[in-house]
Chain A
Amino acid sequence: MERFLSLYQNIYSDLYRLAYYYMGNAQDAEDSVQDAALSACQHFHKLKKEASFRSWMFSILINRCKKNLKKRGQRELTMEHPLTLCTAGSKELDSQTEILELLQTLTEEERLIVTLTVFGGYKSEEIAHMLHRNHNTIRSKYRRALQKLQQELTSEANHTSNSRKRQRKEKPI
């Protein structure tokens, strides 16, 4: 368990970031990382190469996140006002909320690809293996996702009183 924890220590922030931006919710992210860590720890002895720990851990986390997202969907919970449970300054909160909202404009898969790339540091080939997709598909989806984000940002910059943004906020919680 000690060995597991020392390996875990190096990457848990990355794990959390991925879960947070992918799931769009601090509590769910925290739960998922914890769940993933627990099950990974149980099966740690099955891991043959410690060098693969990082990708192994990320794979487990993604599965866990997906499962929890499904569960959340079943409870008919849409995206909450994020970070309400987090203990950070309000200014920080605002900017993180914006990012979450921005990422919510992507489809779930796009969000996963973007977060895996940006926070997981994965290459499209690796993501392709992980998601069992062709790496070119992943690459083009990634590109498209970033274009989407770019468009979203510019349109938001153009309309300071963004009606679309407000609309999303008005969604029932």
Chain B
Amino acid sequence: MKGNKEIVKMLQKKGEELPIPESLHPKKLYPILQEYSQKKRRQKRRFYAILSVAACFCLIMGLCLLLSPYTFFRSEDMQQKALAKRPDLEMPSKEPMELALLESNYEEIYARLSKSWKALSSKQEATSYREFSVAEDMAASASKLSNAEASFGKTNTQVQSIEEADQIKNDGRYLYQIATKQTKDENGTNVSKTGIQILDTLDGVKEIAFLSEFESLEEFHLWEDLLITIENKTYDTPYSSFEAKKESVQEDLTFCDVLYQEQAYHEISIYQITDRSQPKKLKTFTLNGSYETSRILDGYFYGISRFLAKPGEGAQDYSAYVPSVDGTLLEASRIYCPPEADGNNYLVLVSIELANPTSLMDSRAVLAGAGTYYISPQNIYIAWYLPVFQETQVKEGSIKDCTKLLRFFYQKGHFYAQAEGEIPGQINNCFSMDEYKGNLRIVSTIQTYNVKEVIDERTGESIGFDYREDVRSNALYILTPSLSIKGLIEGLAENESIHSARFLGDTGYFVTFRQTDPLFAADLSDPEHPKILGELKVSGFSEYLHFYGEDRLLGIGMEVDEATGIQKGIKLSMFDISDPASLQEVARLHLENYYYSEALWDHRAVLIDTEKNLFGFEAEGSIDDKRRKDYLLFSYQEEAFIQTHTVNTLPEEESYYCHVRGTFIEDTLYLLYGNGEVSSIEL
């Protein structure tokens, strides 16, 4: 790239040296312009004269041809076109601006997809193709002691104003959870039923409804008097086609994954629960593809799902490669194909107006792999990772992996594809992205590779490329609304990876890790010149960061033996961020008996209310080789963690496993067990 800059400089320099013809100087141009306008008038006169002499139509045509291309008759419409297409010359339109990248018909899309199907079948691509795990949703941003009336546990969301779906919900009186209950049928055999359990906490906890008409519930939303459930399903496939598919699937793709995706569909159902004990189904939307994530904002539901396109019987076999929503194929004009898109996945965006959930409001699809989704109050950011192996441009030398970005502006249930961009590296999860004052801030881990073409010594033929991992580093980027990089800090924490990040106003915090845990604080107040303010090295690393009160940052992660690199159990850290230039760890708690918690990868598993000064999660581990599973509740006082409650959640029957989520109403902690049991503890 350095060379590129030099070329641009060189060209500019040459350009400056270029002699400009005298004839173009305004002074010289003036008489020409005058002459021309007179000439034009004369031409017009001549034109009318010929008409008046009753020249025939052919003659006029002939004259038009005779006129040189300089004539304005011809150039006029061309310039008007130029005028019309310059956006800055147009009247501001009421509709938000959109990228003009929508394909006009299914066949064009088919042609695009064919390329990736072909590429997939070639060995080199196939080995590089991996399903990248969908980075899980989000968690509460800067929850700076705002919820005045909040006296019950809410879903820990990334952005405070945006609802995220979860396994449990709490509205201050009723508790809701996805439960799988074991019951016996009349023959005495065990049957399990999955559904949504609704509990009333008014006079002791009692179940008032169990909506059990589901096969496999993913998660659900609670919005006023509505429950919105999302269920992933698959079509039944006869065994024969199962076998046939097995052969056509590349060995490197997980067979189950492909089959699952091909067969997958999901249902979004809306239930009226004005009477909590009598949920009433209003509508079910069926979409093909598998569910990824969803949000609710201002009464609109926004869902993202993934659809795998198949070659089918050819370009006419639309249903094989065009996603359908609620029974209708998505129009080609609603499918967005980024120019460098590859892979055979679509992401499908749908919206539902919850006040009137009779039909889908808007639906869009974009050709993009599964990604990480960050949803701000205005925008949906989709980020998907491109492994370097797909880069065909570079044959030799050093290359970096990269992440593609797409921004959809959304408003009142409508989506508008507005920008796409790219940053080097891979992002950790949705917390690695944050929108502030219109700019998107991202932290990424960049892996560079040394690429060498491998030549067969005997034949001299190229037999592929050898990718050798080189340096890994971390970077922070600030992107404009058009997703071009405005400011950056690169080359941070060599050979470490980003484990967690959180942004608060003009400051960004992120944790990188290899042997120790540097917590970085970056000043982002000047988006064009971000700079690192401070760096704090402590042992272990944080997987989840949460702003705690005025100027504290809570980190939940793992303790690590610095000498051996062995993980030594869960660790809580409290950082003092009052002066980002000198970060300090003011408290730490090493939970050496616990090795695993859902909280380490799903922020929604963390119950946290900084105003009430409590946070909790379920953790697993062992003491003296005896397995333990406890719900742990903490508070933070006088710069120290206090483990206020430890509730054993290990079921009596060893074989049966269920996860436990906690929530609270006023001063009662409720533990919701996945098998439908509930326990309450006074705080």
Contacts and interface: CB of A to CB of B under 8 A. Distances in A.
A binds B: yes
Interface of A: 1, 5-6, 8-9, 12-13, 15-17, 20-21, 26, 30, 33-35, 37-43, 46-49, 51-52, 55-56, 59-60, 63-64, 67, 71, 86-88, 92, 95-96, 99, 114, 117-119, 123-125, 129-130, 132, 134-137, 140, 143-144, 146-147, 149-150, 153
A136 B421 contact: yes
Given A17-B18, A95-B14, 19 more contacts: A8-B29, A16-B20, A26-B21, A38-B33, A39-B75, A42-B37, A48-B89, A52-B86, A60-B79, A67-B78, A71-B69, A86-B19, A96-B17, A99-B14, A118-B8, A123-B484, A134-B420, A140-B339, A144-B393
B40 A42 contact: yes
> Interface majority SS on B: helix, strand, loop or mixed?
helix
Contact of A33 (B11, B24, B86): B24
27 contacts: A1-B33, A5-B33, A12-B20, A12-B25, A21-B15, A30-B24, A34-B29, A41-B36, A42-B37, A43-B76, A46-B83, A47-B89, A56-B89, A59-B86, A60-B82, A92-B17, A118-B11, A118-B15, A119-B15, A124-B484, A125-B484, A129-B85, A136-B339, A146-B3, A146-B8, A147-B4, A150-B3
Contact of A134 (B24, B37, B76, B339): B339
A87 B19 contact: yes
A157 to B, nearest CB: 12
Given A56-B89, A130-B86, A136-B422, A34 B32 contact: yes
Contacts of A117: 8
A6 B25 CA distance: 11
Nearest to B29: A37
Contacts of A13: 20
B100 interface: yes
B456 interface: no
A88 to B, nearest CB: 5
Contact of B82 (A59, A87, A123, A144): A59
Contacts of A35: 70
Contacts of B484: 123-125
Given A125-B482, A134-B101, A134-B339, A42 B86 contact: no
Contacts of B586: none
**Chain A, interface SS category:** helix
Residue with the highest number of chain A CB atoms closer than 10 Å, among B18, B40, B80, B421: B18
A19 B180 CA distance: 72
A93 B484 CA distance: 38
B7 A153 contact: yes
A55 B86 contact: yes
Interface of B: 3-4, 7-8, 11-12, 14-15, 17-21, 23-26, 29-30, 32-34, 36-37, 40, 69-70, 72, 75-76, 78-80, 82-83, 85-89, 99-101, 338-340, 393, 420-422, 482, 484
Which of A9, A21, A43 gathers most chain B CB within 10 Å? Answer: A43
Nearest to A7: B26
A143 B1 CA distance: 9
A8 B26 contact: yes
Given A99-B14, A136-B420, A136-B422, A52 B89 contact: yes
Contacts of A129: 85-87
Contact of A5 (B18, B26, B80, B340): B26
Closest 9 CB pairs of A and B: A59-B82, A146-B4, A5-B26, A137-B339, A150-B3, A88-B19, A17-B15, A9-B26, A118-B11
A56 B89 CA distance: 8
Given A13-B20, A37-B29, A49 B79 contact: no
A132 B23 contact: no
A56 B83 contact: yes
A64 B338 CA distance: 30
